[in-house]
Amino acid sequence: MDPKPAGKTDRPGKRINAKRLAEDLDVSISTISRAFNKDAVIAPETRSRILDYADQLGYRPNPYAQSLITQKSRIVGIIVSHLENPFYPEALRGLSEALREAGWHLMLFTVPSGKTPDDILPLAISYQPEFVIVMAVTVSSRAQEVAERAGTKLIYFNRRDPDSSTFYVICDNAHGGGMIADHFLDTGCRRLAYIAGFQNASTTLDRWRGFRDRCIERGISDVWREEGYSFSYEAGYSAAMRLMDRRPRPDAVFCASDIIALGCIEALRTEFGLRVPEDVSVAGLDNIEMAAWPSHSLTTYSQPLDRMIEATVKLIEEISIGAESEKVAWQIRGDIIVRKSTRPMPGGKDAVTLPDKPS
C-alpha cells in the first residue's frame, strides 16, 4: 500500500521537487505536473495518488520554475501613494482579498514622500508582474510606455488619464459632486464652496466639475473654490482657515474627500467656533469608515468600492485570458449618504439617512 519504497520518505537534504515525487511514485515528471494542472489529461486515480502523496510530503510546484516556463507570474503589483488617507487602506484590503480569491498574488509598493509613482514604477515592473494597479493621483503618460516595454499592463484605480487610453476604474465623481450640490441647495444653502484636493488629480477636477455645473444649472453661478493641494486632514484644516477668512462666509462646503472634510470641520469648530451643520454644512466624498463615527457623522457620497474592486478584478481576468476586453474603462455610480454634518431637509424628511452609530 505504501506508495513508495520504504525509507525514501525521509530522504535527507534536497528539497522535494517533482522529480522526487516522480521517482517515489514511479511515474514521470510530466505526470506530476499534470496532476496539478486542472485541465490536463490524466487518469483520475493517478492524479489523486499524486496529490495525496504530495500533500503528505508538503510538496507544491515551484512557482519560479512555473513562471519561468509559462511566462506568466500571476502577480499583480500595486502602487499606493497615500496610505495615510483611510480610503486607500480600505481599497487595498478589498483588492487584496478579491485578487487572492481570483488566484493572484499582490506585490505592494508604496511611494515615499518626495517621490512620485513614476519613480517607483520601474521597480514595480522589475518583478514582471502581469499587471500593475496604480492607486495614486499623479502619473505621467510615459508610465504607460515604460510598462508596455516590460510587458506589464497598467490599470488606474480611482484615477483616469485624460490623455492615454489606459485601463481605469473610477467612481462617477462628477455625479457625486452634483448630488452634493443638490443636497446643499435642497437644504437651503446658497453660498457654496469647494475645497480641492491635489490640483491636477482627475478626482479633484471631476468632483469640482460636477459640483459647479449643477450649481450653475440651478442658478448659483458663484461657487468658491479653495485649493487644498492634497487629500489630507491637514489640507482640509488649513484650506478651511483660508476659506473662512472670506466675506461673506460660505454656508456649505463640499470637500474633495472625506479626510479633507474632517480636517475642515475641525478647523471650523476649533478656529472659528462655528457649529456644523447649524452655521456651515460640510460634506465629503468617499464614505470612509470613519465618516460614520458619531463624532463626525459626515454627509458624503460613497465610492462604490465593492463594485469598483469587482470591476478591477474582472478587467484583470479578462485581459489575462486574452479576451481583449472592449470595456477599457469603468465608471461606477455611488450614492449620497446623508448624515449630520449637513443641515436637515426643510420638509423634515431626510432622503437617505444611514445610522451613524457603531453597530
Q: Is 242 in the site for its own copies (CB under 8 A)?
A: no
Which of residues 36 and 272 has its CB atom nearest to DNA in the complex? Answer: 36
Q: Is 56 in the site for its own copies (CB under 8 A)?
A: no
Size of the residue set binding DNA (CB under 7 A): 32
C-alpha span between 334 and 172 (Å, rounded)? 7
Size of the residue set binding its own copies (CB under 8 A): 52
Q: Which does 30 bind (CB under 5 to 8 A by kind): DNA, its own copies, none?
A: DNA
Q: Is 293 in the site for its own copies (CB under 8 A)?
A: yes
Q: Is 198 in the site for its own copies (CB under 8 A)?
A: no
- The correct pick among 24, 34, 95, 169 for binding DNA (CB under 7 A) is 34
Which of residues 32 and 305 has its CB atom nearest to DNA in the complex? Answer: 32
Which of residues 59 and 254 has its CB atom nearest to DNA in the complex? Answer: 59
CA distances to 9, 17, 48, 256, 343 from 25, rounded to whole Å, are 11, 13, 12, 63, 74
CA distances to 131, 146, 156 from 118, rounded to whole Å, are 15, 9, 13
- Contact between residue 152 and residue 128 where contact means Cβ atoms under 8 Å apart: yes
- Please count the other Cβ atoms lying within 10 Å of the Cβ belonging to residue 12: 4
* Least Å from the CB of residue 265 to DNA: 54
Angle (nearest 5°) at CA 193 between 188 and 198: 145
C-alpha span between 188 and 258 (Å, rounded)? 22
Which of residues 37 and 270 has its CB atom nearest to DNA in the complex? Answer: 37
C-alpha span between 151 and 31 (Å, rounded)? 31
C-alpha cell at 21: 515525487
Binding mask 1-30 for DNA (x = CB under 7 A): -------------xx-xxx------xxxxx
- Contact between residue 233 and residue 262 where contact means Cβ atoms under 8 Å apart: yes
C-alpha span between 236 and 197 (Å, rounded)? 9
Q: Which does 347 bind (CB under 5 to 8 A by kind): DNA, its own copies, none?
A: none
Which residues, 43 to 82, sit near DNA by CB under 7 A? Answer: 43-44, 46, 59-62, 65-66, 68-71
Q: Is 29 in the site for its own copies (CB under 8 A)?
A: no
Q: Is 263 in the site for its own copies (CB under 8 A)?
A: yes
DSSP of 87-118: HHHHHHHHHHHHHHHTT-EEEEEE--TT--HH
Q: Is 83 in the site for its own copies (CB under 8 A)?
A: yes
The H or E element containing residue 213 is: helix 202-217
C-alpha span between 93 and 97 (Å, rounded)? 6
Q: Is 351 in the site for DNA (CB under 7 A)?
A: no
Which residues, 126 to 165, sit near its own copies by CB under 8 A? Answer: 126-128, 149-151
- State the residues that interact with its own copies by CB under 8 A: 15, 58, 60, 62-65, 67-68, 73, 78, 83-84, 86, 88-90, 92-93, 96-97, 100, 105-110, 112, 123, 126-128, 149-151, 233-234, 237-238, 262-263, 266, 269-270, 289, 293-295, 357-359
- State the residues that interact with DNA by CB under 7 A: 14-15, 17-19, 26-34, 36-37, 40-44, 46, 59-62, 65-66, 68-71
